Amino acid sequence: MARVPTSKDVARVAGVSQSTVSYVMSGKRPISEKTRRLVEDAIAQLTYQPHAGARALAGRRTNVVAAVVPFRTPLSAHGLMAFVEEIALAARARDHDLLIVTADEGPGALQRVAGRALCDAVVVMEVRTDDERAAVARSLGRPTLFIGFPQDAEGLHCIDFDFEGAARLLVAELAAAGNREVVVLGWAPELAELGINYVSRFRAAAEAAAAEHGVALRWCAVPSGHGAVEECVADVLGAPGAPPGLLASTGAQAALSALLRRELVPGRDVDLVALCTDAEAEALPVPLTAVSPQPRDVSRQAMEWLFALLEAPGSPGELRRVPAELTRRRSVRTAG
């Protein structure tokens, strides 16, 4: 295997000291044009690539933001792409590149990108309630922002959509329409098993809201895979009596399709609300009453905060929530 060239090799080929090579790369001292060209020619000849850590130690930023985004399943990867796209756009708008770490490495991913000085700041996503990355984040020595709330958030900077508020609004809407039972088409069981924090937050708030409004609540976790929502809806509608109010925290389009195939029209025969983006809710054959999780707005606010932290390191930890808002459309009947 060929040896990777070092700054010492560059100095030898250019006929200058190693410190001069460092000054050329860092810009910390004035260097003559002749010497600069010698160093640059040697770098090109050797195809030398200065380590991001060396540039950082020399007082220069990498102009890179790292996003630690474990893509655990194809479904979770799809759901996260709106967040990632907005993070990338926000980074480029500030002349930063985005390094995406998709492996599910736990704290190892943070230690790797920070230990090798690959970035100036880190965004952490797919946060678990008991997230081992929280402890590591406190020792990184660079701004780190969690999109999600780990249980141990002491001293951390965390932002997320208000999933609790969304659950309360959606359950209250179904209760106000006269439903005495609410069935939640919930996230896949593996997300709950992993401890992804927004799942437990949403479920706990939904159960509390149901108790407050005097309605029964049933959680139907939708497994990953084609046809899973259809099966859950069939199971719910197979019970005797009037159909319950349906709350789709995932699979809103599939839930609507399952109802329409049974000639049940939301807003006429049954009530259906969803946690989905406004674009998705409005594009469906029956526009859904919904709360949007606002992935792009969450990402924009996260990046604005992250760059503020870059300019003001050492800011105290804080938890921020992006408020939930209900938009009424045509999928819920008028009470009575």
Summarised one tens digit per residue, pLDDT across range 152-211 is 999 999 999 999 999 999 999 999 999 999 999 999 898 888 899 999 999 999 999 999
Q: Into how many domains does the chain fold? A: 3
Rounded to the nearest 10°, the torsion over CA 9, 34, 30, 121 is: -50
Examine residue 12 and state whether it is found in any structural domain, yes or no.
Answer: yes
Examine residue 57 and state whether it is found in any structural domain, yes or no.
Answer: no
Confidence of residue 59 (pLDDT cuts 50, 70, 90): very low
Pair 74, 105 in one domain: yes
- CATH number of the domain to which 123 belongs: 3.40.50.2300
What's the residue count for the chain?
336
Pair 173, 246 in one domain: yes
Pair 128, 240 in one domain: no
Pair 211, 104 in one domain: no
Residue 44's Cβ-count burial label (10 Å; 0-12, 13-18, 19+) is exposed
**Which residue is it, tokens 């930063």?**
96
User: Strand ranges (DSSP E) for 106-180?
Assistant: 121-124, 144-147, 157-161
Examine residue 328 and state whether it is found in any structural domain, yes or no.
Answer: no
- Asked if residue 324 has pLDDT above 70, the reply is yes
Pair 110, 137 in one domain: yes
Examine residue 331 and state whether it is found in any structural domain, yes or no.
Answer: no
Q: What angle do CA 45, 47, 52 make, to 5 degrees?
A: 140
Pair 127, 231 in one domain: no
Summarised one tens digit per residue, pLDDT across range 201-231 is 999 999 999 999 999 999 999 988 778 899 9
In the chain, how many H helices and how many E strands? Answer: 14, 12
R_g of the chain computed on alpha carbons:
26
pLDDT at 53: 47
Pair 270, 168 in one domain: yes
pLDDT at 191: 84
Examine residue 335 and state whether it is found in any structural domain, yes or no.
Answer: no
> Whole-angstrom Cα distance, residue 110 to residue 91?
19
Rama region for 73: left / alpha / beta (φ>0; ψ in -120 to 50; rest): beta
Examine residue 327 and state whether it is found in any structural domain, yes or no.
Answer: no
Pair 88, 136 in one domain: yes
Examine residue 46 and state whether it is found in any structural domain, yes or no.
Answer: yes
> Whole-angstrom Cα distance, residue 239 to residue 236?
6
Which residues make Cβ contacts (< 8 Å) with residue 247, sequence separation at least 6? Answer: 170, 171, 174, 182, 183, 184, 185, 206, 272, 273, 274, 275
Summarised one tens digit per residue, pLDDT across range 227-267 is 889 999 999 998 888 899 999 999 999 999 999 999 999 99
Pair 187, 260 in one domain: yes
Pair 256, 225 in one domain: yes
Q: Considering the entire predicted model, what is its pTM?
A: 0.79
257 versus 74: the higher-pLDDT residue is: 257
> Whole-angstrom Cα distance, residue 280 to residue 2?
52
Pair 185, 274 in one domain: yes
Examine residue 176 and state whether it is found in any structural domain, yes or no.
Answer: yes
CB 86 within 8 A of CB 54: no
Compute the average pLDDT of residues 285-302: 95
> Whole-angstrom Cα distance, residue 303 to residue 308?
8
> Whole-angstrom Cα distance, residue 278 to residue 271?
18
Q: Which of 233, 189, 196, 205 is nearest to 291 (CA)?
A: 205
Pair 133, 221 in one domain: no
Structural domain containing residue 304? 64-161+295-322
Rama region for 249: left / alpha / beta (φ>0; ψ in -120 to 50; rest): alpha
Summarised one tens digit per residue, pLDDT across range 12-51 is 999 998 888 877 766 556 778 788 788 878 877 776 665 5
- CATH number of the domain to which 13 belongs: 1.10.260.40
